[in-house]
Amino acid sequence: MTNLIPGHTYALENFEDKNPEGQILQFIHKEPKEEGSTELITISDGTTNEEVIEVLLDRLNFLQSKFPCRENTIAITKLDEALLWLNKRTSDRIKRGVEGKQVK
């Protein structure tokens, strides 16, 4: 993994074919609309942490159905927990009216 744009864009290596292109993982990138503003605008569209965790959960559940093991079960549980906390954070931000804004 190579970090191309900190926190937003990553170059991922393929497992077997180590060609330099690999794959790009792009997260949504937002910045303040103007200096001092809490309103954010999208610089580049992309995915979210939650979506990537959903993909990992789907893959691990598929693998668990084919090759069950304790380690997969634990990893699935931890990813479920991570998703729960990220969704709680979003829900709390929506309730406070600060979702999509640069506010703690």
Residue 70 has pLDDT above 80, yes or no: yes
User: Could you give the percent of the chain with pLDDT greater than 70?
Assistant: 100
In the three-class reduction of DSSP (H, G, I as helix; E, B as strand; rest coil), residue 23 is classed as strand
Task: Tell me the average pLDDT across 45-65.
Answer: 98
- What pLDDT digit, counting tens, does each position of 6-40 carry? 999 999 999 988 777 789 999 999 999 888 888 89
Confidence of residue 60 (pLDDT cuts 50, 70, 90): very high
Contact by Cβ (8 Å): 29, 38: no
The whole-angstrom separation of Cα 49 and Cα 36 is: 26
Residue 99 pLDDT grade (very low, low, confident, very high; cuts 50, 70, 90): confident
| 74 pLDDT above the threshold of 80 | yes
| Mean pLDDT over the full length of the chain | 93
